[in-house]
Amino acid sequence: MAPSFMHEVIDVVDAKKVKEMVAKKSSQLMGSMSGSGKMPPHKHCRICHEAIPIKSDPRICKNQECIEQNRKDEKNQKTVRIAMFVFFGIFAVPYVLVLVTGILG
């Protein structure tokens, strides 16, 4: 008898605690939402995700590290593009040669 009764009491207390906690959390959330007000349209830096003006181009903040990182990324993209082009060429040249020799032969 006693243990199950105790269990019920604990359950009630826990439920109350949980309810209180949820209320606290939600009020905190509401407070932070109303406190910041309406956010103007903005973008985020692609490196550090800092909020930046929507007109920012390239899509990075004024942080020197981000500028540097962006430059490196652009360089990498260029390198990848060239590598793909070369790779394609390696496969395309024999194909074209076979095609041409087929036509000539």
Nearer to Zn ion, 19 or 49 (CB): 49
Q: Which of 68, 26, 31 is nearest to 47 (CA)?
A: 68
**Range in contact with Zn ion (rule: CB under 5 A) among 2-10, 43-51, 73-81, 89-97:** 43-51
**Residue 84 binds Zn ion, judged by CB under 5 A:** no
Interface residue with Zn ion, options 12, 48, 96, 98 (CB under 5 A): 48
- How many whole angstroms separate alpha carbon 12 and alpha carbon 22? 15
Half-sphere exposure of 91 (CA within 13 A, CB side): 5
Q: Identify which of residues 61 and 87 has a Cβ nearer to Zn ion in the complex.
A: 61
Separation between Cα atoms, residue 21 and residue 15, nearest integer Å: 10
The three-class DSSP label of residue 37 is coil
Question: Which of 50, 56, 69, 73 contacts Zn ion by CB under 5 A?
Answer: 50
CB of 79 to Zn ion, least distance (A): 23
| Footprint (CB under 5 A) of Zn ion, residues 63-82 | 63, 66
